[in-house]
Amino acid sequence: MSLLQVLPLAFVMIAGPQFLSAIFLATSENWRRNSAAFVFGAALSITLLVSLTYFLGIGANRQQGSNTALSAIVLVLLLAAMVHTYLTREESEPPKWMGKLTSASPRFSFRLGFLLLGFFPTDILTSVAVGSYLASNGLPLTDSFGFIVVTLLILAFPSLVLLAFGERAEAFLPKAREWMNDNSWVVSEVVILLFVGMSLNNLLG
């Protein structure tokens, strides 16, 4: 898979509570171990889901007509979701469990990474899309490594910033966390917009 294909998919994987959780864990008491456990859990779940889809050949033999109809339905639903997200933006709040991440343990961080990146609806769709794309085009499973690595690098970005910039990053990350807390609906709109673009590409391609 090319970098132009990988970057949007990786961004879809982490946009929303996934990246916000990474920022919270990077500002937690035991941030090194928590961040490492979170990324490891994510790596395990993404790899398992992509591999299962690839070896089971899920979606590999779907007909073009079905793909077009499905893309049209998904596009309509996504546009409706964008409108709903905007209209309810004042009521939009991040999950309450995120407030507990600053005192999280490595074990909890691992479970969170595994569940968020393996069972979150948009992440399931994206990982399945990668696995089925490789299977349907006769490409090796190793071609998914770029997608997985880029996704994990973005997830690890807050902790990598801390390692690189130290005290300056410690002052910046809490501000970024608060902004994402206050503007979670913006993040949701960006994710939906990416899926709209992908659906249009399927319809027009």
Q: What band does 5 get if pLDDT is binned at 50, 70 and 90?
A: low
* 63 touches 137 (CB < 8 A): no
Task: Say what the pTM is.
Answer: 0.75
Q: In this structure, what DSSP letter does residue 94 have?
A: -
Measure the CA–CA gap between 47 and 131, rounded to whole angstroms: 10
3-state secondary structure of 197: helix
- What is the residue extent of each domain of the chain? 3-204
Quote the tokens at residue 21: 């959780």
3-state secondary structure of 1: coil
Provide the residue type at 163 as one letter. Answer: L
Q: What band does 177 get if pLDDT is binned at 50, 70 and 90?
A: low
List pLDDT tens digits, range 102-121.
788 999 999 999 999 998 88
* pLDDT, average across residues 6-29: 81
Q: In this structure, what DSSP letter does residue 139 have?
A: -
